[in-house]
Amino acid sequence: MNNVVLIGFMGSGKSTVGKKLAERLEIEWLDMDTDIEAREGQLITEIFSDKGEAHFRALETQYIKELIQVKKKVISTGGGVVLNEENVEILKKIGMVIFLHADSEQIMEHLNEDNTRPLIQGENVKDKVKTLLEQRDPLYLSSADIIIQTTGKEVDHIIEEIMLLL
Ligand code: S3P
């Protein structure tokens, strides 16, 4: 079996769905952000504030390049991986890329009072999310092999939909 790669915006459920899907498939789950934090010994917020976004993006690409060796895993990516074409090329090569699409209201609900995501801190979070979604939705769409609508759905329902497609 190929890897299953989950992409989508922050708060779209990539980690929650990834963990449960891996349990269901009885295979290992990789969570990019968690792995990068463990490697760096820093939280994502600290990496952004100490070394900047460009450094974090380089760490993401380094991580993705190492995935070329990886087989039969569920991989939850960070919401920004689609910003780099090279990342997308590799992810498409190593597995089936599934876009978890949530609407902006659901995303806002999930991200309410979140302080772990540096790109959506401070004032006007709603506008920041809206702008990022407009930039990124086309990238998620063009990167995906499969699109799953997740708005208003329970995690188990989303898993069942994915299971039917694998
Ligand atoms: C980011 C999403 C985050 C994390 C970082 C940047 C983004 O991951 O990688 O804060 O640019 O969308 P999640 O999508 O898991 O929140």
Q: Please, which residues bridge with residue 75 across strands?
A: 5, 30
Q: How many residues does the chain have?
A: 166
Q: What is the pLDDT of residue 32?
A: 98
Per-residue pLDDT averaged across 20-42, rounded?
98
Q: What is the mean pLDDT of the chain?
A: 96
pLDDT (tens digit, 9 = 90+) per residue, 80-89? 999 999 999 9
pLDDT(10) > 80: yes
Q: Is the CB of 57 under 6 A from ligand 1?
A: no
Q: What is the pLDDT of residues 94-136, one digit of tens each?
A: 999 999 999 999 999 999 888 999 999 988 999 999 999 999 9
Q: How far apart are alpha carbons 126 and 1 in whole angstroms? A: 39
- How many other CB atoms are found less than 10 A from the CB of residue 158? 20
Q: Give the residue-averaged pLDDT of 35-52.
A: 98
Atom of ligand 1 nearest to the CA of 31: 15
Tokens of 153: 């759905």
Is ligand 1 within 6 A of the CB of residue 79?
yes
- For ligand 1, say whether the CB of 44 is within 6 Å of any of its atoms: yes
Residues 98, 5: contact at Cβ < 8 Å?
yes
CA of 8 to the centre of ligand 1 (A): 9
Looking at the chain, the whole-number percentage of residues with pLDDT higher than 70 is: 99
Query: Closest by alpha carbon to 2, among 32, 24, 25, 35?
Result: 25
What is the arrangement of strands in the sheet containing 146-149, beginning at the earlier edge strand?
Answer: 28-31, 73-76, 3-7, 95-101, 146-149
What is the distance between the terminal CA atoms of the chain, rounded to a whole angstrom? 9
Q: Is 110 in the pocket of ligand 1 (CB under 6 A)?
A: no
Substitution candidate for ligand 1 out of 63, 64, 117, 125 with most atoms within 8 A of CB: 117
Mean pLDDT of 51-75: 97
The verdict on pTM exceeding 0.85 is: yes
Ligand 1 and 119: CB distance under 6 A: yes
**Cα–Cα distance measured from residue 15 to residue 6, given in angstroms and rounded to the nearest whole number:** 8
Kindly report the CA angle at 55 between 52 and 58, in degrees rounded to 5?
Answer: 150
User: Could you tell me if the CB of 117 is within 6 A of ligand 1?
Assistant: yes
